[in-house]
């Protein structure tokens, strides 16, 4: 947390000392001093302005009802919906995604992703690796997330925190960005990069710690409330003896681009209206709402200089044991997903951000080719379809194909570690040379088995 209480020596009239006021605890950094981050940036020559937004789909979305329809398969495989043509000749999406179908020359689809495990946890998407079990052979300290690696290797950009988790609150713990595993209960977060590279988290697990003199951080987007709380203290702050980086740190927390980026009231009302209002998902899923405002927030954060933003969207564990059949759930949730994701990509492009910002949209795994007896699709880790865009990733590509049931790759399986190698490359990080020591000091490559960026997309 930001430590506003502590030693009473040299205190302000409210009893808060200058030293305690400027000391940072968690604030999503887990104990690192923000002024140290700013000082480190001032001393480094690495000024990459590239960024990544990872849209995590908790629960594992269906490939058949999205990007890999199988119209010639039997009914129990193809499902209830017809395919539609896209802007790319010969490429079809599900009929529930007409806006994305009309936009698919701006992004690429991988239909043959492999390497995920049948585990309901965000850890796989955020690190590209399994964890939490003996057979996973994690290094001492555990695997770090993509954002933690970017924070460690590149540091802050433009005085901004390098890594933000902008996900809505979710009730199912392993969906959250904290490295919690669904079976073992082990928490791998933040990995061997260390506590300094935990994301600045707006909602979720650490929000109860993030209390700024009575203002909880999940209200930080209501910037006026935050500034009102800080205002009186700032007027009393004896600035003598406080170095320039501590001053910058104080400014970052009170009146910086971060606070501006989090204040959605500063966004053009027409843009906010175009994104739309959040829609709840059934609470029994334990996932996220379909909140377009959180994707808008992600755009504002990278625009302000954040290197990596993760954001969860929706609830996709569609077995038909909750709320309804996959036909019902697809009709309810996919058209809005189509609208929000297409709006988000168009917004990035219109602002020139798609040139420097990579986007990946995926879940933990795909869904079974065969619809189950209840009318849903079960977990399926043999393949899934994912969306990649921006940051130098070649658009208008469809990488890999699945066989006639959509169950396994028929050509060009793409490993999840290839996706991570691609994202690191778009950030300007060379996976062939950069290593980060684990807690024993052993250097660890960022990806396994000499995996390389997806050649067709670079």
Q: In this structure, how many other beta carbons lie within 10 angstroms of the beta carbon of residue 78?
A: 20
Q: Is residue 223 part of a domain?
A: no
Q: What is the pLDDT of residues 5-39, one digit of tens each?
A: 233 344 434 343 434 333 333 343 444 455 555 55
Q: Quote the distance between the C-alpha of residue 65 and its chain's center.
A: 23
Least confident of 6-15, 101-110, 329-338, 348-357: 6-15
Mean pLDDT value across residues 226-248? 45
Q: What is the sign, positive or negative, of the torsion defined by CA atoms of 253, 256, 257, 263?
A: positive
The model's confidence at residue 327, banded by pLDDT at 50, 70 and 90, is very high
pLDDT in the model for residue 190: 79
d(CA 404, CA 412): 15
The model's confidence at residue 230, banded by pLDDT at 50, 70 and 90, is very low
pLDDT in the model for residue 183: 85
pLDDT in the model for residue 446: 97
pLDDT in the model for residue 49: 86
**The token pair that represents 282 in the structure block:** 């059934």
d(CA 252, CA 248): 6
Domain count for the chain, please give it: 1
Q: Is residue 253 part of a domain?
A: no
Q: What are phi and psi of 55, to 5 degrees?
A: -100, 110
Q: Is residue 76 part of a domain?
A: yes
More confident residue, 236 or 99: 99
Q: What is the pLDDT of residues 127-145, one digit of tens each?
A: 999 999 999 999 999 999 9
Cβ burial of 331 (10 Å; 0-12, 13-18, 19+) is: middle
pLDDT in the model for residue 256: 64
Give the chain's mean pLDDT: 84
d(CA 131, CA 123): 7
d(CA 378, CA 360): 23
Q: Is residue 319 part of a domain?
A: yes
From 448, 66, 5, 35, select the one nearest 249 (Cα to Cα).
35
The model's confidence at residue 245, banded by pLDDT at 50, 70 and 90, is very low
Q: Is residue 12 part of a domain?
A: no
Q: Is residue 5 part of a domain?
A: no
Q: Is residue 245 part of a domain?
A: no
From 322, 272, 235, 303, select the one nearest 51 (Cα to Cα).
303
Q: Is residue 391 part of a domain?
A: yes
**Which domain does 294 fall in, by range?**
22-214+264-457
Residues contacting residue 443 through CB under 8 Å, at least 6 positions apart: 435, 436, 437
Q: Give the CATH number, domain containing residue 323.
A: 3.40.720.10
**The token pair that represents 262 in the structure block:** 């989090």
Q: What is the pLDDT of residues 401-422, one digit of tens each?
A: 999 999 999 999 999 999 999 9
The model's confidence at residue 45, banded by pLDDT at 50, 70 and 90, is very low
| pLDDT tops 80 at residue 169 | yes
Mean pLDDT value across residues 314-337? 98
Q: What is the pLDDT of residues 260-296, one digit of tens each?
A: 898 899 999 999 999 999 999 999 999 999 999 999 9
**The token pair that represents 374 in the structure block:** 């209840």
Mean pLDDT value across residues 436-458? 95
Length of the chain in residues, anyone? 458
d(CA 270, CA 296): 12
The model's confidence at residue 243, banded by pLDDT at 50, 70 and 90, is very low
pLDDT in the model for residue 258: 82
């Amino acid at each position: 947390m930001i430590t506003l209480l502590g030693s009473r020596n040299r205190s302000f009239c409210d009893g808060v000392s200058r030293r305690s006021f400027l000391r940072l605890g968690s604030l999503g950094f887990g104990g690192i001093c923000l002024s140290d981050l700013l000082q480190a940036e001032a001393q480094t020559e690495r000024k990459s302005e590239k960024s990544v937004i990872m849209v995590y789909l908790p629960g594992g979305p269906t490939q058949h009802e999205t990007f890999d329809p199988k119209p010639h398969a039997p009914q129990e495989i193809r499902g209830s919906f017809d395919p539609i043509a896209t802007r790319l000749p010969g490429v079809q999406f599900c009929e529930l995604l007409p806006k994305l179908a009309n936009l698919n020359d701006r992004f690429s689809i991988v239909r043959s992703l492999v390497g995920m495990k049948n585990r309901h946890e965000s850890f796989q998407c955020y690190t590209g690796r399994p964890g939490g079990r003996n057979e996973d052979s994690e290094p001492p300290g555990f695997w770090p997330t993509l954002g933690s690696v970017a924070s460690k290797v590149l540091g802050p950009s433009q005085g901004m925190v390098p890594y933000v988790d902008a996900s809505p609150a979710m009730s199912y713990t392993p969906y959250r960005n904290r490295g919690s595993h669904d079976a073992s209960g082990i928490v791998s977060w933040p990995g061997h990069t260390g506590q300094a590279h935990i994301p600045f988290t707006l909602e979720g697990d650490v929000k109860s710690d993030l209390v700024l003199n009575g203002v909880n951080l999940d209200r930080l987007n209501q910037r006026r409330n935050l500034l009102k709380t800080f205002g009186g203290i700032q007027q009393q702050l004896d600035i003598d003896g406080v170095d320039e980086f501590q001053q910058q740190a104080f400014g970052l927390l009170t009146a910086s681009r971060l606070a501006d980026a989090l204040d959605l009231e500063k966004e053009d009302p027409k843009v906010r209206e175009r994104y739309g209002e959040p829609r709840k998902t059934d609470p029994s899923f334990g996932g996220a709402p379909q909140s377009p405002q959180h994707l808008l927030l992600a755009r504002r954060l990278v625009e302000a200089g954040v290197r990596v933003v993760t954001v969860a969207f929706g609830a996709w564990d569609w077995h038909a044991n909750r709320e309804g059949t996959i036909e019902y759930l697809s009709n309810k949730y996919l058209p809005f997903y189509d609208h929000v994701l297409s709006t988000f990509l168009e917004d990035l492009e219109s602002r020139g951000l798609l040139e420097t910002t990579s986007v990946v949209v995926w879940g933990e795994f795909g869904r079974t080719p065969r619809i189950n007896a209840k009318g849903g699709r079960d977990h399926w880790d043999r393949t899934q379809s994912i969306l990649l865009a921006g940051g130098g990733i070649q658009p208008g590509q469809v990488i890999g194909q699945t066989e006639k049931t959509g169950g396994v790759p028929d050509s060009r399986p793409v490993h999840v570690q290839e996706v991570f190698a691609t994202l690191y490359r778009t950030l300007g990080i060379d996976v062939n040379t950069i290593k980060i020591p684990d807690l024993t000091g052993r250097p660890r490559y960022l990806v396994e088995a000499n995996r390389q960026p997806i050649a067709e997309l670079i």
